[in-house]
Amino acid sequence: MASEQKYGAGIWHFATYVDRYATDGYGPARSLIEMIDLAGEVGDLSVVDINYPFPGGETDFAAVEAALKRNNLSVIGITPEIYTRKFARGAFTNPDPGIRREAHAMVTEAAGVVRRFGANYVKLWPGQDGWDYPFQVDHGDLWRMSMDGVGQLASENPDLKFVIEYKPREPRNHMSFDSVARTLLGIEKIGLPNIGILLDFGHSLYGGESPADAAQLAIDHGRLFGMDVNDNLRGWDDDMIAGSVHPIELFEFFYTLRKNKWEGVWQLDQFPFREDCVGAAKSAIGFLKHIEKALDRLDFDAMRAAQAKQDAVETLRLAREALFAS
């Protein structure tokens, strides 16, 4: 029986990148259409998350739709780019109210694009909202602006879902929405039903969380609206190939999703700076399929019983048996 699990990716997986050293980029820039065609080459992807404004200044919706169609892809979410130069000092938390209004306007436009594509959500990743230095901000004001910015949008667009992708840091030295608990605390304070969490496995991991615990907490609050995976060395958002460093915690993460019957798309959020992007996606999905089979092999009842005893040796034995099957 073929897997029914749906896979997706942020379209930036198929971009090329710049950083503060390789300012000429890790490769020639690609158009959105090229990225979509590369996503199609992977073969296992059903959905993509697309930045807005579209990469490369693309404005031809019909061309985008055609590219998606010929690659059998649909749009799961739109990520407004509220972290570029204009928003360098913050989007929702910018000290300048004019810039805050521009952030609001850009997300509102992105909401329209979500409707047009029939996508699932507007993804909010306010990566420039936070602080760099001790004493730089009034922390109470900053947090209120973070919640107000999201709350206003969710309240104005009750027909849509908004997902917050929290992250400890980068590009800001400290991001406002830095952890699963902080984000849930803010969401509960805002008090609207259409705000949830997009849980990035790597952000959780390098933030010192157990991604499985973070997923469970978000689920228990009814707020796990999406997720994506990758890997890192626990000190930074390296966005490496999923499972390349932490296969066991990745397995525990998916175990937690299945145990809770969470049935969303398994998405990739990788940045293959120096690797072939199609190859990196295939590598990740190959391993995710291995995990799917391992979940089929795993004895859930025995795992539950061993977890009830908090028996580290036995739970590890069960997990290994399923994951490293021979």
Chain residues 272-301 in contact with a second copy, contact rule CB under 8 A: 273-276, 279-280, 283, 287, 290, 293
Report, in Å, the least distance between residue 127 CB and a second copy: 6
Sign of CA dihedral 134, 151, 186, 199: negative
Report, in Å, the least distance between residue 303 CB and a second copy: 7
Indicate whether 188 belongs to the interface with a second copy (CB under 8 A).
yes
Report, in Å, the least distance between residue 217 CB and a second copy: 7
Report, in Å, the least distance between residue 196 CB and a second copy: 15
Q: Number of residues interacting with a second copy: please give it, by CB under 8 A.
A: 102
Beta-carbon contacts of residue 238 (< 8 Å; ≥ 6 apart) = 202, 206, 230, 231, 232
Indicate whether 23 belongs to the interface with a second copy (CB under 8 A).
yes
Residue 35 C-alpha from the chain's centroid: 18
Q: Which is nearer to a second copy, 63 or 305 (CB)?
A: 305
Can you tell me whether residue 231 is helix, strand or coil?
strand
For residue 254, give the nearest of 26, 70, 2, 5 by alpha carbon. Answer: 5
Count other C-beta atoms under 10 Å from residue 91's C-beta: 29
- Which parts of 221-260 interact with a second copy (CB under 8 A)? 233-236, 238, 240-241, 243-249, 251-252, 255-256
What DSSP letter does each residue of 146-200 carry, written as one string? HHHHHHHHHHH-TTSEEEE---S-SSSSEESS-SHHHHHHHHHHHT-TTEEEEEE
For residue 202, give the nearest of 154, 237, 178, 152 by alpha carbon. Answer: 237
Indicate whether 181 belongs to the interface with a second copy (CB under 8 A).
yes
Selected from 54, 83, 121, 266, the binder of a second copy by CB under 8 A is 83
Give the phi and the psi of residue 190 in degrees, each rounded to 5: -65, -45
Selected from 220, 263, 296, 299, the binder of a second copy by CB under 8 A is 220
Selected from 10, 90, 202, 226, the binder of a second copy by CB under 8 A is 90
**Spatial distance between the Cα atoms of 309 and 238, rounded to a whole number of angstroms:** 35
For residue 192, give the nearest of 225, 158, 141 by alpha carbon. Answer: 158
Contact present, 137 and 186 (Cβ < 8 Å): no
State the binding string over 107-136 for a second copy (x if CB under 8 A, else -).
--------------------xx--xxxxxx
DSSP 43: S
Selected from 207, 228, 257, 267, the binder of a second copy by CB under 8 A is 207
Query: Considering only 63-71, 102-110, 113-121, 168-176, which stretch makes contact with a second copy by CB under 8 A?
Result: 168-176
- Which parts of 32-71 interact with a second copy (CB under 8 A)? none
Q: Which is nearer to a second copy, 77 or 127 (CB)?
A: 127
Selected from 88, 156, 193, 222, the binder of a second copy by CB under 8 A is 88
